[in-house]
Chains A and B, each alone.
Chain A
Amino acid sequence: MTQITLDNLAHSYLPNPQSEDDFALKQLDHVWKDGEAYALLGASGCGKSTLLNIISGLLVPSRGRILFDDKDVTHQDTVARNIAQVFQFPVVYDTMTVGDNLAFPLRNRGMDPAYIAKRVQQIASMIGMDDLLKRKARGLTADAKQKISLGRGMVREDVNAILFDEPLTVIDPHMKWELRTQLKALHNEFGHTMIYVTHDQTEALTFADKVVVMHDGRVVQLGTPEELFDTPEHTFVGYFIGSPGMNLIDAEVSGSMAHCGGHSVPLGGHYTAPGGHVQIGIRPEFVTIASGEEGLPVTIKRIEDVGRHQILRAEFAGKPVNAILPEGMTVPAGANRLKFAPERVNVYADDWRVTPLHSVSATTKEAV
Chain B
Amino acid sequence: MSLVLESVSKVVEGQSHIYPTDLTLERGTMNVLLGPTLSGKTSLMRLMAGLDVPATGRILWEGKDVTGMRVQDRKVAMVYQQFINYPSMTVYDNIASPMKLMGMSRAEIDRRVRETAEFLQLTPMLERKPLELSGGQQQRCALARALVKDAGLVLLDEPLANLDYKLREELRAEIPRIFEESGAVFVYATTEPEEALLLGGNVATMWEGRITQFGPTPQVYRAPSDATTARVFSDPPMNFTRVLKQGNQISFGEGQSAPASGALVDLPDGTYTAGFRPDHLHLRAQGNDGLHFQCTLHVTEITGSETFVHLDHAGDRWVGLMHGVHHLEYGAPIEVWLDASHIYVFAESGDLVAPASYAAAA
A–B contact via C-beta, under 8 angstroms: yes
Q: Footprint of B on A, CB under 8 Å?
A: 43-44, 172-174, 177, 180-181, 184-185, 188, 199-202, 205-207, 224-226, 228-230, 239-245, 283, 285, 304-308, 311, 327-328
Known contacts A174-B235, A308-B279, A328-B358, A180 near B301 by CB under 8 Å:
yes
What 8 A-B pairs come out closest when comparing CB atoms?
A229-B304, A206-B301, A225-B304, A308-B279, A205-B303, A199-B164, A306-B197, A305-B218
How far, in Å, is B329 (CB) from chain A's closest CB? 11
Binary contact readout B226-247 vs A (1 if CB under 8 angstroms, 0 otherwise) = 0000000001110000000000
The reply on B169 being an interface residue by CB < 8 A is yes
The reply on B321 being an interface residue by CB < 8 A is yes
Q: What count of chain B residues pass the 8 Å CB interface test? A: 39
Binary contact readout B43-78 vs A (1 if CB under 8 angstroms, 0 otherwise) = 000000000000000000000000000000000000
Known contacts A229-B304, A230-B304, A174 near B36 by CB under 8 Å:
yes
Binary contact readout B319-362 vs A (1 if CB under 8 angstroms, 0 otherwise) = 10100010000100000000000000000000000000010001
How far, in Å, is A110 (CB) from chain B's closest CB? 35
26 A-B pairs, CB-CB below 8 angstroms? Answer: A43-B166, A43-B167, A172-B36, A174-B237, A177-B235, A199-B166, A202-B303, A205-B303, A206-B302, A206-B303, A224-B302, A225-B302, A225-B303, A226-B304, A229-B303, A229-B305, A239-B166, A242-B304, A242-B305, A243-B169, A283-B305, A306-B194, A307-B197, A307-B218, A311-B198, A327-B279
How far, in Å, is A345 (CB) from chain B's closest CB? 16
Chain B residue, CB-CB nearest to A239:
B166
Chain B residue, CB-CB nearest to A245:
B166
Further pairs besides A184-B301, A241-B304, A243-B169: 8, Cβ < 8 Å: A43-B167, A173-B191, A174-B36, A177-B235, A188-B330, A206-B308, A226-B302, A228-B304
When the two chains form their complex, are residues A181 and B164 in contact, meaning their CB atoms are under 8 A apart? no
Residues of A within 8 A of B310 (CB): 181
Q: Which of B135, B194, B303 has the most CB of A within 10 A?
A: B303
Residues of A within 8 A of B194 (CB): 306-307
Chain B contact residues, majority secondary structure: mixed
When the two chains form their complex, are residues B200 and A304 in contact, meaning their CB atoms are under 8 A apart? yes
Known contacts A172-B36, A172-B37, A304 near B198 by CB under 8 Å:
yes
Q: Which of B173-230 contact A (CB under 8 A)?
A: 191-194, 197-198, 200, 217-218, 221
The reply on B17 being an interface residue by CB < 8 A is no
When the two chains form their complex, are residues B330 and A205 in contact, meaning their CB atoms are under 8 A apart? no
When the two chains form their complex, are residues B298 and A185 in contact, meaning their CB atoms are under 8 A apart? yes
When the two chains form their complex, are residues A244 and B169 in contact, meaning their CB atoms are under 8 A apart? yes
Say which residue of A201, A205, A240, A306 sits within 8 Å of B302 (CB atoms): A205
The reply on B299 being an interface residue by CB < 8 A is yes
- In the complex, A197→B134 CA distance in Å? 20
Q: Which of B279-316 contact A (CB under 8 A)?
A: 279, 298-299, 301-305, 308, 310
Residues of B within 8 A of A174 (CB): 36, 235, 237
Say which residue of B192, B301, B308, B358 sits within 8 Å of A173 (CB atoms): B192
Q: Which of B117-171 contact A (CB under 8 A)?
A: 134-135, 164-167, 169
Q: Which of B169, B301, B304 has the most CB of A within 10 A?
A: B304
Chain A residue, CB-CB nearest to B308:
A206
Known contacts A226-B304, A304-B200, A43 near B325 by CB under 8 Å:
no
- In the complex, A243→B173 CA distance in Å? 12
Known contacts A177-B236, A199-B164, A307 near B305 by CB under 8 Å:
no
How far, in Å, is B199 (CB) from chain A's closest CB? 9
Chain B residue, CB-CB nearest to A174:
B36
The reply on B41 being an interface residue by CB < 8 A is no
The reply on B277 being an interface residue by CB < 8 A is yes
- In the complex, A200→B303 CA distance in Å? 11
Residues of A within 8 A of B191 (CB): 172-173
Residues of A within 8 A of B237 (CB): 174, 177
Residues of B within 8 A of A205 (CB): 301-304
When the two chains form their complex, are residues A226 and B325 in contact, meaning their CB atoms are under 8 A apart? yes
How far, in Å, is B157 (CB) from chain A's closest CB? 15
Chain A residue, CB-CB nearest to B232:
A174
Chain B residue, CB-CB nearest to A180:
B301
Residues of B within 8 A of A177 (CB): 235-237, 319
- In the complex, A330→B287 CA distance in Å? 20
- In the complex, A173→B231 CA distance in Å? 12
Chain A residue, CB-CB nearest to B323:
A285
How far, in Å, is A181 (CB) from chain B's closest CB? 5
How far, in Å, is B231 (CB) from chain A's closest CB? 8
When the two chains form their complex, are residues A188 and B299 in contact, meaning their CB atoms are under 8 A apart? yes
- In the complex, A173→B236 CA distance in Å? 9
How far, in Å, is B172 (CB) from chain A's closest CB? 10
Residues of B within 8 A of A44 (CB): 134-135, 164
